[in-house]
Amino acid sequence: MYDLVEKGTKLVMVEQEQVGECGRECKTIRKAAQLILGDHDTDVAERLFKGGTTRAQLQNWLCYVLSKACVHKPPPLPKVVWGWFCA
């Protein structure tokens, strides 16, 4: 189980010690993975099954070849005060 944690100007995934209910952060991670994988889930599974691919190679393949998800820098995190987004 993972959680999204603000680290500077980025969100990072942090592994949680206990399994819990899938909340907003979990659903955000799931949606991002679905958008990146798209219709390529079987291609990814095949590459993982065959082996011989490092984590870095898999990440580059997913980010730049399959999805172009890492081509642009992510937008900055919005400023939040008491649950409200501020400009």
pTM of the entire structure?
0.55
Is the confidence at residue 86, as pLDDT, over 60? no
Domain assignments of the chain as residue spans, ordered by start = 2-86
**How confident is the model at residue 33, as a pLDDT?**
82
Q: Cα separations (Å) of 30 from 2, 3, 12, 38?
A: 10, 11, 14, 12
Question: 58, 84, 14: which is closest to 1 by C-alpha?
Answer: 14
**Residue-wise pLDDT tens digits, 7-49:** 887 778 888 888 877 777 778 888 888 887 888 888 889 999 9
